[in-house]
């Protein structure tokens, strides 16, 4: 009888468990990127790129990304930001980062670090893929994934540079959000 009660208790616990597969977001590894059109939520991937995630969080906490435009937005490919000059040639005053390439797939909503021909030249610029960009796999550092608000990313004005570029209103680590 006691075994039956234990089994029933276990079955009850299983049946009330959330099976959606949605894990609670870790606020220290979640980024909020506020655009004029709304909030984009980004899951940071320190498991793939700990140095790049640390840099993105450091810059976000300093307010570096607030007001920066999307200077290169290519239809069917990606939206790029993170250059304070808006030209695609600038970065932060911090040293460049060594590459942290992985076998992670560049799918829709994947975020990677922009760089020059030198694999160890990533600094502050990043791009968000509009669709599958698996041709980039293993060549750029993946540091995040859009988990909510991809439709807002889809709405970013296109151009190289866009005529009237969209910008990041505020970017913050969720743990710091007020």
- Are the C-beta atoms of residues 177 and 42 closer than 8 Å to each other? no
Cis omega (within 30 of 0) on the bond before 102?
A: no
Q: How confident is the model at residue 24 (pLDDT cuts 50, 70, 90)?
A: low
Digit-coded pLDDT (tens) for 66-116: 999 999 999 999 999 999 999 999 999 999 999 999 999 999 999 999 999
Angstrom distances, CA of residue 18 to CA of 8, 13, 14, 22, 113 = 18, 10, 9, 8, 34
14-38: average pLDDT: 72
Digit-coded pLDDT (tens) for 148-157: 999 999 999 9
pLDDT above 90 for 22: no
28-176 is classed CATH 2.40.100.10: yes
Q: Where are the domains of the chain?
A: 28-176
Digit-coded pLDDT (tens) for 47-60: 999 999 999 999 99
pLDDT recorded at residue 178: 77
Q: What is the pTM of this model?
A: 0.86
């Amino acid at each position: 009888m006691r075994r039956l009660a234990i089994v029933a208790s276990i079955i009850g616990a299983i049946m009330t468990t959330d099976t959606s597969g949605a894990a609670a977001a870790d606020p220290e590894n979640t980024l909020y990127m506020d655009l004029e059109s709304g909030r984009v939520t980004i899951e940071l991937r320190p498991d793939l790129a700990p140095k790049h995630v640390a840099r993105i969080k450091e810059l976000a906490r300093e307010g570096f990304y607030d007001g920066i435009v999307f200077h290169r937005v290519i239809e069917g490919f990606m939206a790029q930001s993170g250059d304070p000059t808006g030209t695609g040639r600038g970065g932060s005053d911090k040293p460049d980062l060594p590459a942290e390439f992985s076998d992670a797939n560049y799918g829709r909503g994947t975020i990677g670090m922009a760089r020059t021909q030198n694999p160890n030249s990533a600094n502050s610029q990043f791009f968000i893929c509009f669709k599958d960009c698996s041709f980039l796999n293993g060549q750029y550092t993946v540091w995040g994934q859009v988990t909510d608000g991809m439709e807002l990313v889809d709405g970013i004005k296109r151009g190289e540079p866009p005529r009237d570029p969209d910008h990041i209103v505020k970017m913050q680590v969720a743990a710091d959000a007020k």
